[in-house]
Structure 1
């Protein structure tokens, strides 16, 4: 019996996971979530930028074993949508432009030897590594850029306060170590990128600060209408908080 090429294609299975529970240390999980959320929020207005992490990337059609799963990655020029896995041939041949691996004892060798070779083969422009505990990488944060098919280390900058900072040309952002913690910064504004949780915390703090300012403004002689205008609050909200 002759088997058509279409039948062969339908029989190829690309798993969305290896079927095993994802086991991550607290630091690895926390920074993975922070990086994906912070970058997703930063690029939220761009419909042609896809941010994800810990997702299978299949890079050879018909060969399910040709797969890699970066901790954090960003792809430019593809649709922003939910995916169960990322198949390069279905995305116009576009591989990630930026990859970040959260290094640990179990991943160090793979992150420093096997994965860079695969990322170079795929044409990943920038490859960063971060070690939350500082036990496996010296320094804790490393970055490299693909030049003629090989990764060349990016020289870190040290800010006046001693903070290590590496600029990502691909993202247009700085990756910095703040007391050993990885954070993304917008070099144009100097603002730190926040996760969803951090964004909500900042909103609550700003709201509380406005409420705390009401008694001080009353002491300065401002009336309810003036306080509401100064704090951008409804008059009835100011009145309620004063009662």
Structure 2
């Protein structure tokens, strides 16, 4: 009896997640921001550097977008995104962050892949040149967005803009995406201010009691 050898779908392509710290910082910022804006939706899956296999039986047909978003699929951990196991739903939004090692041929191949396999929104940002591009699916293909400055993602509701020359992504609530250390620093600062205000109030109350006045 001839045994069928199962098709293997590796969970790693042997490539690093990022080529430098700036690229990694943007990947982490966008993945975290997208997870935050879709937190209310149990059927919104967000991942970074996850291999996407769009066709069963073709493990060589794959890409690992820097960030991907899939609406219609539950949150949770995955070793890779096998589309046929996910109700055949392709990622609707993908983002690539350029590094100096990326070539024009490589990026052209990626865009062709995303166009062929059903991505609705494709965004590309080059942090070295501070340039952003985007493509939106229209009439069966990806069409270039005229300007990313002020563009709002139809799927995510996030807005891309250049603020004082810096590329910035805003959530639907109007707040800019920030790195965890920035958020943590702001929280610590707010807690320090609250503590200082409480201590000041306690000192004032103590002085009033010394004068025979009971503070309210």
Secondary structure of the 2:150 match is strand
How do 1:135-150 and structure 2 match up within 5 A?
140-150=131-141
Q: Deviations over 1:170-218 (max 9, x none)?
A: 111102334555432124x321233443332222121122223346657
Instruction: Give unmatched runs, 5+ long, in structure 2.
Output: 207-216
Task: Number of aligned residue pairs: give it.
Answer: 206
8 Å Cα contact 1:121/1:149 also seen in 2:
no
Q: Any runs of at least 4 consecutive aligned residues in structure 1 with deviations exceeding 6 A, and if so which?
A: none
How far apart, in 1, do the equivalents of 2:107 and 2:13 lie? 22
> Taking structure 1 as reference, are residues 22 and 38 closer, same or farther at Cα in structure 2, changes over 3 Å only?
closer
Q: CA deviation at 1:27?
A: 0.7
TM-score w.r.t. length of structure 1: 0.75
Deviations 1:59-114 (A, max 9, x none): 11011001011001100000100001000000001111111100123224146411
Secondary structure of 1:67's aligned partner? coil
Higher helix share: 1
Q: Does residue 119 in structure 1 map to residue 114 in structure 2? A: yes
SS of 2:128 mapped into structure 1: coil
What does residue 203 of structure 1 align with?
187
Distance 2:157 2:166 in 1: 20
- 5+ residue gaps, structure 1, are 158-163, 225-243
Does the 8 A contact of 1:132 with 1:181 survive in 2?
A: no
Say if 1:2 and 1:18 are closer, same or farther in 2 by CA, change over 3 A: same
Structure 1 contact 173–185 (Cα < 8 Å) conserved: yes
Q: 1:14 Cα shift?
A: 0.5
Aligned residue runs from structure 1 range 8-27, under 5 A: 8=5, 11-22=6-17, 24-27=19-22
1:176 alignment partner, one of 161, 182, 185: 161
Which of the residues 41, 45, 48 maps onto 2:40? Answer: 45
Corresponding position of 2:170? 185
TM-score by length of 2: 0.84
Partner deviation per Cα, 1:102-159 (whole Å, 9 max, x = no partner): 012322414641111111111111110000110xxxx6011110111222222336xx
Match of 2:96 in 1: 101
d(CA) in 2 for partners of 1:20 and 1:112?
15
Q: CA RMSD in A?
A: 2.4
Q: Per the alignment, in what secondary structure is the counterpart of residue 151 of structure 2?
A: strand
Give the stretch that moved more between structures: 31-40 or 74-83. Answer: 31-40
